[in-house]
Amino acid sequence: MFFPTMEKYTVEVKVELKKGVTDPEGENTKKALALLGFNAIESVRSLRVYELMVSAETKEKAIAIAEESCRKLLANPVIHNYKIMVKEL
């Protein structure tokens, strides 16, 4: 019998708002920083990152699993873009 060797990959999924979508968290962070005197900070964007530990046979399969998880749960295609990167262990 053949058992494929499973490797563990750390996949970083970066979910960001699409251009033109308002980012209340970023805007309020900017306001709070301005109140603290950080006038050099002109804008703030907030992003969400998920670090997934994926066990898969190949790097490509790990990326495919992460991509599907974005489509099904992590990102809302109406407002979000996402980027997937594999971190080497």
Closer residue to a copy of itself in complex, CB, 48/59: 48
Write out the two tokens for 34.
């301005």
Binding-site member from 1, 22, 36, 88 for a copy of itself (CB under 8 A) = 36
Structure tokens at 43: 């804008």
Written as one letter, the residue type at 46 is S
Q: Is 81 in the site for a copy of itself (CB under 8 A)?
A: no
Q: Which of 35, 14, 22, 24 is nearest to 82 (CA)?
A: 14
Residues contacting 39, CB < 8 A, separation 6+: none
Of positions 1, 19, 20, 43, contacts a copy of itself by CB under 8 A: 43
Q: Which residues bind a copy of itself (CB under 8 A)?
A: 8, 14, 26, 29, 32-33, 36, 38, 40-56, 62, 65, 68-69, 72-74
